[in-house]
Amino acid sequence: MPIERQPFQQIGPLVAADGADRQPFHGTHLPLGSSARDLSDPRPDANRWSANTGFLWPHLPFCDRIRAAAAAGFDAVEFHDEAQRTDPAVLHAALRDAALPVLSLNVAMGATGGRAAMRGAEDDARRDVDAALALADGIGTRAVHVLAGRTGDPDLGQFVRVLRHAAGSTDRTILIEPLCSAAAPGYALPTLDLAIRVQDDVGAPNLRILFDYYHIETAHGGAADLFRRHRARIGHVQIASVPARTAPAAATHAFIDACRRAGWTAPFGCEYRPEGPDIRPPGRS
């Protein structure tokens, strides 16, 4: 069955929840791992890869996934919400063994994939943010991804308020990610245009978009052009093949090359389902 794509359309800002006038996003916050002191690589033209522990090794205990990422040659790791269910001492030991930076982690996801836009859940969503930020502080995570949640009745004004709370509580990067309806039906942030609308209304320089090639290409098509157009808004990039969501194929590598030509130097998050037991960063053996 063919995928029905939604053409990207820039749409106007949300009405600010506090009645204030919000200026369009003008970000100066660096993408994850992009500064000269972060993840330095003696090969200036080399891509760098962050292992998404939730996708690459779902069969392993969480801390063993972190060690597996290091053994496989990845440059960094990123989590869903597994770390919040792990004994801190055990987690610190695994991170010490792996000696890899943690690029990002999610707030608590639960059965609904977050709840920041779920009507009536604002207090709980703020507590989720506070807990994730405390964990990020404890393990040196660069960013926290605040998930909107799957709901038939999203409250985007509430989502904006939760994001303002998150962005105002830390100097770390706060991420929001559009998830395509084909993979996450009912998710309250299904398109890039809506994510931009939310980002503009929040008006915080440390709020960035997590640009997942699989979701953007599936929802809109033309992911490379959209990346170039909105490069300044983006804080992290994830990759997978389309439509299988397996290891990067030719079209994904073309997108990666386009990102590099547009000036992207930060690691690419590997959020895909491996097709075999030998899991390595793309292009490395």
Residues annotated as part of the active site: 177, 271
Distance CA 72, CA 93 (A): 18
- Alpha carbon distance 181, 268 (integer Å): 23
Strand (E) positions, the chain?
49-52, 76-78, 102-106, 143-145, 173-176, 207-212, 234-239, 268-270
CB atoms within 10 A of CB 242: 22
Q: Are 173 and 32 in contact (CB under 8 A)?
A: yes
Q: Please report how the helices 122-139 and 88-98 are oriented relative to each other, as an axis angle in degrees rounded to 10.
A: 50
CA distance 25 to 235: 13
Calpha distance 127→91 (Å, rounded): 21
* Number of alpha carbons in the 13 Å side-chain half-sphere of residue 26: 3
Integer Cα distance of 270 and 48 in angstroms: 10
